[in-house]
């Protein structure tokens, strides 16, 4: 899975925001605000990743257990899928 190229990450007033561009801008009305972990995962998903690689990268970067990393990654992926931001 990876982030569709029509979604980009912007930093505005110290906040990390995902915004649609191109055709997606007509379909997706709004934006998603990310914390530092979300920003890290979003940037990682610019290239194709598996669930396991995301969990491993999160554990390597932040001091979290596998259980917590798994929960966080799954929650993040659910939000991206809900808004149709990921491609297979």
Nearest to 24 by CA among 44, 1, 7, 36: 7
Flag whether the pTM goes above 0.85: yes
- Domain extent at residue 71: 2-87
Residue 16 in contact with residue 35, Cβ under 8 Å? yes
Nearest to 72 by CA among 41, 30, 28: 41
Read off the pLDDT of residues 52-73 as tens digits, 9 standing for 90 and up.
999 999 999 999 999 999 999 9
Nearest to 28 by CA among 79, 87, 83, 88: 83
Q: How many domains does the chain have?
A: 1
Residue 68 in contact with residue 12, Cβ under 8 Å? no
Percentage of the residues of the chain whose pLDDT score is greater than 90: 85
């Amino acid at each position: 899975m990876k982030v569709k190229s029509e979604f980009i990450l912007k930093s505005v007033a110290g906040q990390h925001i995902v915004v649609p561009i191109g055709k997606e801008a007509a379909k997706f009305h709004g934006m998603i605000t990310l914390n530092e972990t979300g920003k890290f995962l979003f940037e990682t998903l610019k290239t194709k990743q598996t669930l396991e690689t995301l969990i491993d990268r999160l554990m390597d970067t932040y001091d979290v257990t596998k259980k917590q990393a798994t929960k966080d990654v799954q929650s993040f992926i659910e939000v991206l899928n809900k808004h149709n931001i990921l491609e297979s």
